[in-house]
Structure formats: structure tokens, C-alpha cells
Amino acid sequence: MSLDTVIHAGFTLAPHPRNALVLMGGGARTAYQVGVLQALSAMLRLRPQATQTFPFQILVGTSAGALNTTFLAGCATAGLQAFDRLAQFWEQLRSDHVYALNVSSRIPWSGGIGRFLAALSLSRQALAQGAILDNMPLVDTLHRAISLPAIEEALRSGTIEVLAVTASSYTSGVHWTFCHTAHDAAPQAWIRPGRRAEFQPITIEHLIASSAIPFLFPATPLWVDGRREFFGDGSMRQVSPLSPAMHLGAQKVLVVGVGQPQRSSLVGTTVQEGAHGPTLGSIAGHAMASVFHDTLQADVEQAQRVTKTMKQLPRELVAGLSYRSVDVLAIQPSQSLDALAQVHAHELPAGVRRALGGLGASNGGGAALASYLLFEPGFVQTLMTLGRQDAYARKGELLAFFAGS
């Protein structure tokens, strides 16, 4: 995120403080975010003279994080109950509600020849359909779960002010942020090198585009600048995850990621990987981690440095500048999600489990790939529990963050 974006956000004086929620991408791993928000909801309910109103005015999401923010936007008029509804949605979710793997069950997935046939079958499917997996189940799931009219109502009533979804264009290489507001006169759209914004109503197609993990899910067409472009996962080319919230006037930003500085599954390899090098699954998991490798920490540190610097200036000078610092609080998993996925890999649908096993992606370094696809109760509940624990471990920070909101 550029320095001028952070400083400009501080000079954007809104009629009232705006809280932003930024949720990063990561497939099934984003169940962790649900646990964090569940704990936050419980904390806010217990505050003295607590209100039940929805605590965020700006919602920004990427990939599966965009599914979470958009779901919340559709429930925002229910106040803090929106977080309970999101948890209920995830508790009922299964992998076959998100994707399908259409390959023959007769392929011998184990052994050298089995792995070769597995790779050949998956590559043929990718060439024929543009992706290994069919995400039509996700299209159906989102149409049933997310109410677009309810999002409009939340915007019209002022419960939320803007919903933003990010996606990456395969056509132009530009990282786009699509912003949905209730106002006829939308704020000024921003243009930065490789990044642009456009104000238009968010649809299910935007969510499918934002969550289209490369190679796994097919590209989705969207209209931008009066022309059709094909889009994939918003985590690609996401060099500045906090920038949309800053441009949209946030004064406080809570961001929940699902990445980790060091992935334990790449540190410890299996005997087979040590002797013969990484499996196809390990390489795929590493590539996936690269796609979802966000620059969140750098963005957070940039914003916090500017805030700290401005607070150290003489009060008279700061008052004359009419500057309001932007507070950023970031929460990420305290445990390895790759390691947790390895424990729960057996929960995957049989066909997917055989395919990943054939590629060496069900254990060791390959478990990282499984972690993005494990939309199953055991893994989901484990991540939600971890999210709640991590949130309560930072209860003081969270309550201080929302003090006065």
C-alpha cells in the first residue's frame, strides 16, 4: 500500500467513524475467520450498555473471504446475529456444496503409474474445462445462501455503507475492487498501478470470480470499463489488501487473514519427499500458498508506522491538519493450518481424496493443497475453534479497538 493512500485516509473526515472489516482469501481455511467473528460478537454483546447493531460500515473481502463478507452484508440488518448466521452456514457446508471432481473412479491412483494417470486425467479435464474442478455447486449454494435484496436493504438503511469484492483480471492483469454502495453519487474510484476500482452492484458472479482459485476453478467473465474481461481469484496480484478500506474512508480496520509466515508442512517433509524430491501435491500446495501469499503484514506495518508517527507530532500541529489516524488490528492463525488439514484429510470426498492421494497431496508438504478444499465438518469446526481461541487471546485489543463505536 502506498504511503499517500494511508495519509489520504487520515484526512478523509467522515460524518462518523467508519469501521471496516477486511477478510482475506484461502478457500476452506477461511472458516477460521468465522470463529474470530463469533468470539468478537460474544465480546460485543457483553459490553456495558451494549447495542446489538452491526459493528462494521465497510466490508471488504477477497476470494472465500469475499463470500464471508457478502454473506454478512446480507444479514447485517440483524445486527450481531449476522455472525451467528454465518457460523450456521459454515456448519452446514460440505465439499460437494462447493465443487465437484468429475474423473473416473477406475483410475488406480496409487503407485507410479497411478500418479501418472492421475496427473494425465486431471490435466485433460483442465484443458477441456479450463479448470480441474467444477464450481457449479458453489454457484447454487451462494444463490440459496446470500440474499442480494437484503444487501440492498442494508445499504439503503445505512446499516452498512459499502461492500467491496476484489478479483484479478486474466485479460488485463489488473487487480479490480468492485464496490457496491447505496448512493447515486459513488465516491471517486481510484486508479493505481495494476489496481483499479469500479462502483457496481455486487452479484453472485462477482463472488464466483473472486473465489476462482487458478487451475482449480474456471475463470468468470465480468464487465468492467464497458467491456467483458475474464477474472480469477482476487488473491492473485493482491499487493495491497488494506488499500480498498483506506480509499473507502475507514478509520478503523479489523483484518482477518489465514496465512502464516512459515508453513510447517514445508519445513518437515516425508521420507519419500526427502529421497525423491517433492511430490506433485507438494509442488501444487507450494504454488497455492504462493497465490494466497498476501502482503498483509507489510500493509499493517505501513499503516501502523504512519499512525505512530502522526501521534508523535505536536498536538497543535495535528489539530491544525485535521488528521485522524487509521487504526489497524490484524488477526491470523496461531497454529499451522497445513498441519490441521493433514489430520482431517480423510474427511474429503472419496474421489477427491483418491486424486489428492495419487498426487501425494494428502500428507506431508502436500497437505497444504488439501487445506483449501476441506469444506468438511471436522476441519471447519477445528478452524472455527482456533479462531475463537485466537480472538479471546486478544480480547483486550479487540475491546479497545471497538471502544466508543
Q: Give the residue numbers annotated as catalytic, written as ranges.
A: 63, 233
CA angle at 74 for the pair 5 and 242, rounded to the nearest 5°:
15
Are 180 and 154 in contact by the 8 Å Cβ rule? The answer is no
Give the C-alpha separation, 358 to 403, whole Å: 52
In the DSSP assignment, the letter for residue 187 is: P
Long-range contacts (CB closer than 8 Å, 24 or more residues apart) made by 266-275: 266/338, 266/365, 266/368, 268/364, 269/364, 269/365, 270/363, 270/364, 270/365, 272/360, 272/364, 273/360, 273/364, 273/365
Q: In terms of Cα–Cα distance, which of 59, 55, 85 is closest to 180? A: 59
> Which residue's C-alpha cell is 502464516?
260
The cell numbers describing 211, all together, are: 473465489
Q: In terms of Cα–Cα distance, which of 245, 232, 203, 186 is closest to 6? A: 245
Q: In terms of Cα–Cα distance, which of 110, 229, 217, 226 is closest to 176? A: 229
> Which residue's C-alpha cell is 504454488?
287
Strand-strand pairing, 227-232 and 252-256: unpaired
Let me know how long the chain is: 405
